[in-house]
């Protein structure tokens, strides 16, 4: 291999010399951190004993599964638990595992939906108390409902925003909690897992009194569908810390314990999917980071076993093992980090001049130290150089998470090649009081007696990935002509092929809802002329809720990336409200924080609403608009006939459903 080739792909970007001493006194470890994983035995998936054997072998200590309220017989005031369930609990306990039981679902003998009446609340509380009493002394962990705010899979009529609001859940928990604690004072009652993580909803949940009637709250809030750094474990833990900080406001200034009862990064091939290797990286980083936040009491990976074999379906690819129990990479990662996560005491995070290098110091019960380090930056290695200082001159062990055994190393490091030029240092001798190792996005664990050791250097060494160019093909393309061009035919959006229902209401022809639009441009602006035919115009909302009424949603994506999934798009909501036209920029591909410069003129004439929109090219990332310039674009025409959003017309995909997918946008091409 030529030196020029190596030089291109191995270059030094950052060299920061600093000194950080690894000294700390181990504090007494608190209650054991729970390493959990979700199972689906209650849905007939998997073989109980075989799954539990592999689960325990990986170092997991707590399976999480559902106990259905439907098992409760109100006439007999008792549960008839199916054999598979009692077998699951018994087998788990035999293996020293601590099951987390989710008490949820509906009971048709009592109510077809949420237990929101006084009678159904009492009935559910009796069921929960019976479970606590039945398993007293054997099981302690209970979660009261799963994803209450997510609808629980109920029919639309039984999961209205009012039904699944936090106020109703708080009323239920106020009845359930004292009955469960009376049945088993040692049981741990975990409040509903929060899915909707906007600060407003989360605060309403806490404000409603939920924290007064639980021992901790559950948190889901998957971020695998986010983009870039927002989909990482580091970003996820930050949202958890924000939730803990918010809980102080409603818990007498004390953060309420949190249980991360579902989180994972699935391996499906579609939007939001990750490779098994990346899921393994994220698993290790998540569990190690969680130990730095004392209020996080445990994590239950979602889930232990894939739910099927479909490569495209996310639910078929969350597992640590396949349906036939073949371990995937996250299983091996879990097995390698579990002893540290479960047994070690976190000492502190080591300072670094490189914000994308994370170094966490732990101490094991036998007094040995573990330094866990990784990089949050892709396509590079971070080299860390330690100086022994006052530390004991003993052996070290280095283990990459996921590898079955560590390798033995000794102190000693000779820097014999210069990273930027790739030329050797002939004069450099080995320094016996130093030790160097490199990390990527997968954590590396260094074990030994590190008290007194100093981190004296960090280098970032670029290592680009193998080059691949991706192209994504749209379903439709529209031409935008220069301002003043004639004979431009508008694009029609109409009929069942372009309409998606939100409610079970059919579209009654083009007079009910249809639209047409065209685009023009000049050097600075893109102009959209949209005419919507709608028999009823209703827009009672504003700001970030314009989409709920008659409105326009549109999204743009400039082609700045060669990746298979483009950067997140720039999205807008536009509407003719009771106070006039309004524009909201919902997100920005350029991460703009300044107010939008998009303008809207709108008017209603008979059964038609005309929207004249002007979009600055610079705001959507189109840097040099000229004939041939191409960018992504999708548009949604929302329909509200006075009650609620009934459905929408769409041209392009990737918006309108809550899933943000710029790779599904159509294209706009600027023409002469």
Q: Where are the domains of the chain?
A: 3-26+348-462, 34-343, 477-670
Query: How would residue 591 be classed by pLDDT, with cut points 50, 70 and 90?
Result: confident
Provide the percentage of residues in the chain whose pLDDT is more than 70.
90
Query: How would residue 4 be classed by pLDDT, with cut points 50, 70 and 90?
Result: very low
193, pLDDT greater than 90:
no
For residue 359, give the 3-state DSSP assignment: strand
162, pLDDT greater than 70:
yes
Cis peptide, bond prior to residue 303, ω within 30 of zero? yes
The string of pLDDT tens digits covering residues 615-646 is 999 999 999 999 999 999 999 999 998 888 89
Least confident segment among 55-69, 221-235, 321-335, 451-465 = 451-465
Residue scoring higher pLDDT (144 or 390)? 144
Q: Which two tokens stand for residue 177?
A: 């909690």
Whole-number pLDDT of residue 642 = 86
415, pLDDT greater than 70:
yes
25, pLDDT greater than 50:
no
Q: Could you give the CA distance from residue 215 to residue 229 in angstroms, rounded to a whole number?
A: 32
* Mean pLDDT, the chain, whole residue set: 89
φ, ψ of residue 518 in degrees (nearest 5): -145, 165
Whole-number pLDDT of residue 200 = 72
* CB-CB contact of 554 with 572 (8 Å): yes
Question: Which DSSP state fits 662?
Answer: G
Query: How would residue 202 be classed by pLDDT, with cut points 50, 70 and 90?
Result: confident
User: Of 343, 626, 666, 616, which is closest to residue 473 (Cα–Cα)?
Assistant: 666
Q: Could you give the CA distance from residue 105 to residue 67 in angstroms, rounded to a whole number?
A: 8
Q: Assign a CATH topology to domain 34-343.
A: TIM Barrel (3.20.20)
Whole-number pLDDT of residue 661 = 83
For residue 119, give the 3-state DSSP assignment: helix
Least confident segment among 89-103, 165-179, 341-355, 492-506 = 492-506
Calculate mean pLDDT across residues 13-19.
39
Q: Which two tokens stand for residue 595?
A: 């107010």
The string of pLDDT tens digits covering residues 375-403 is 999 888 999 999 998 888 889 999 999 99
Q: Assign a CATH topology to domain 3-26+348-462.
A: Jelly Rolls (2.60.120)
485, pLDDT greater than 90:
no
The string of pLDDT tens digits covering residues 284-321 is 999 999 999 999 999 999 999 999 999 989 999 999 99
Q: Which two tokens stand for residue 76?
A: 């007999």
Calculate mean pLDDT across residues 510-516.
95
The string of pLDDT tens digits covering residues 329-358 is 999 999 999 999 999 999 999 888 899 999
Find the helix or strand (DSSP H, E) in which 332 lies: helix 329-343
Calculate mean pLDDT across residues 577-581.
95
Calculate mean pLDDT across residues 229-251.
95
Calculate mean pLDDT across residues 446-470.
82
Q: At what angle do helices 199-207 and 166-183 cross, to 10 degrees?
A: 50
The string of pLDDT tens digits covering residues 548-575 is 999 999 999 998 654 445 567 899 999 9
Torsion region of 267: left, alpha or beta (phi above 0 gives left; psi -120 to 50 gives alpha): alpha
The b/e string for 96-123 (b: 16+ C-beta within 10 A; e otherwise) is: ebbbbbbbbbbbeebbebbbbeeebbbb
Least confident segment among 272-281, 504-513, 652-661 = 652-661
Least confident segment among 204-213, 377-386, 421-430 = 421-430
Neighbours of 174 (CB within 10 A): 16
Whole-number pLDDT of residue 667 = 95
Calculate mean pLDDT across residues 439-458.
93
Q: Which two tokens stand for residue 184?
A: 């088993």
Provide the percentage of residues in the chain whose pLDDT is more than 90.
69
For residue 56, give the 3-state DSSP assignment: helix
Name the class of domain 477-670. Answer: mainly beta
| CA 46 vs CA 39, 43, 176: distances in Å | 8, 9, 31
Q: Could you give the CA distance from residue 537 to residue 557 in angstroms, rounded to a whole number?
A: 29
Residue scoring higher pLDDT (500 or 561)? 500
Least confident segment among 13-22, 113-122, 150-159, 247-256 = 13-22
* CB-CB contact of 72 with 79 (8 Å): yes
Calculate mean pLDDT across residues 590-608.
95
Least confident segment among 17-31, 368-382, 573-587 = 17-31
Whole-number pLDDT of residue 632 = 93
149, pLDDT greater than 80:
no
User: Of 32, 94, 95, 97, which is closest to residue 65 (Cα–Cα)?
Assistant: 97
Query: How would residue 16 be classed by pLDDT, with cut points 50, 70 and 90?
Result: very low
| CA 85 vs CA 36, 51, 61, 65: distances in Å | 18, 14, 18, 9
10, pLDDT greater than 50:
no
Query: How would residue 467 be classed by pLDDT, with cut points 50, 70 and 90?
Result: low
Query: How would residue 23 be classed by pLDDT, with cut points 50, 70 and 90?
Result: low
Whole-number pLDDT of residue 164 = 78
158, pLDDT greater than 90:
no
């Amino acid at each position: 291999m030529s030196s020029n080739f190596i030089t291109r792909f191995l270059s030094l970007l950052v060299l920061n010399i600093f000194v950080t001493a690894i000294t700390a006194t181990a504090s007494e470890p608190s209650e054991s951190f729970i390493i959990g994983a979700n199972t689906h035995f209650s849905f007939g998936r998997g073989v109980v004993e075989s799954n539990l054997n592999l689960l325990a072998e990986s170092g997991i200590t707590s399976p999480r599964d559902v106990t259905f309220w439907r098992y409760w017989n109100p006439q007999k005031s008792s549960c008839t638990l199916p054999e598979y369930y009692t077998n699951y609990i018994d087998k788990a306990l035999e293996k020293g595992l601590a099951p987390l039981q989710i008490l949820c679902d509906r009971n048709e003998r009592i109510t077809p939906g949420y237990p929101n009446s006084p009678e159904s609340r009492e009935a559910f509380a009796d069921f929960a108390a019976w479970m606590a009493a039945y398993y007293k002394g054997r099981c302690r962990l209970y979660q009261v409902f799963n994803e209450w705010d997510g609808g629980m899979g109920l029919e639309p009529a039984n999961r209205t925003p009012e039904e699944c609001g936090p106020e109703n859940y708080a009323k239920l928990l106020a009845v359930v909690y004292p009955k469960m604690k009376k049945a088993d004072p040692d049981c741990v009652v975990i409040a509903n897992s929060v899915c909707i993580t906007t600060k407003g909803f989360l605060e309403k949940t806490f404000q409603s009194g939920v924290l007064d009637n639980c021992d901790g709250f559950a948190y889901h809030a998957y971020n695998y569908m986010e983009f870039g750094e927002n989909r990482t474990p580091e970003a996820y833990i930050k949202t958890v810390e924000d939730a803990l900080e918010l809980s102080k406001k409603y818990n007498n200034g004390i953060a309420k314990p949190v249980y991360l009862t579902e989180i994972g990064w699935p391996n499906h091939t579609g939007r939001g999917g990750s490779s098994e290797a990346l899921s393994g990286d994220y698993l290790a980083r998540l569990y190690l980071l969680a130990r730095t936040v004392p209020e996080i009491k445990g994590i239950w990976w979602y889930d232990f076993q894939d739910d099927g074999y479909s490569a495209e379906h996310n639910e078929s690819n969350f597992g640590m093992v396949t349906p036939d129990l073949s371990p995937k990479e996250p299983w091996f990662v879990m097995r390698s980090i579990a002893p540290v996560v479960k047994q070690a005491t976190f000492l502190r995070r080591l300072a670094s001049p490189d914000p994308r290098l994370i170094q966490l110091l732990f101490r094991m019960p036998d007094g040995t130290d573990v330094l866990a380090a990784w990089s949050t930056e892709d396509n590079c290695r971070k080299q860390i150089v330690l100086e022994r200082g006052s530390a004991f001159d003993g052996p070290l062990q280095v283990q990459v998470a996921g590898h079955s055994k560590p390798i033995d190393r000794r102190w000693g490091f000779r820097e014999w090649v210069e990273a930027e030029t790739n030329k050797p240092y002939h004069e450099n001798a080995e320094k016996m009081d130093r030790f160097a190792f490199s990390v990527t996005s997968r954590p590396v664990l260094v074990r030994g007696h590190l008290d007194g050791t100093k981190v004296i250097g960090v280098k970032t060494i670029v290592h680009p990935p193998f080059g691949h160019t991706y192209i994504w093909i749209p379903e439709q393309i529209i031409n935008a002509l220069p301002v003043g061009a004639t004979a431009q035919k508008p694009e029609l959006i109409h009929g069942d092929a372009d309409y998606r229902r939100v409610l079970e209401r059919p579209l009654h022809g083009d007079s009910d809802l249809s639209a047409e639009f065209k685009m023009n441009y000049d050097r600075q602006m893109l102009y959209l002329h949209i005419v919507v035919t709608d028999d009823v115009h209703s827009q009672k909302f504003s700001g970030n809720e314009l989409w709920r009424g008659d409105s326009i949603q549109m999204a743009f994506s400039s082609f700045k990336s060669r990746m298979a999934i483009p950067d997140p798009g720039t999205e807008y909501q536009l509407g003719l409200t009771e106070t006039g036209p309004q524009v909201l920029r919902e997100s920005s591909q350029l991460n703009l924080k300044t107010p939008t410069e998009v303008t809207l003129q709108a008017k209603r004439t008979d059964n038609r609403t005309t929207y004249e929109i002007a979009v600055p090219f610079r705001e959507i990332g189109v840097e040099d608009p000229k004939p041939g310039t191409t960018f992504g674009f999708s548009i949604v025409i929302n329909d509200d006939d006075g009650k609620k959003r009934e459905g929408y017309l769409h041209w392009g995909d990737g918006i309108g459903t809550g899933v943000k997918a710029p790779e599904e946008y159509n294209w706009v091409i600027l023409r002469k």
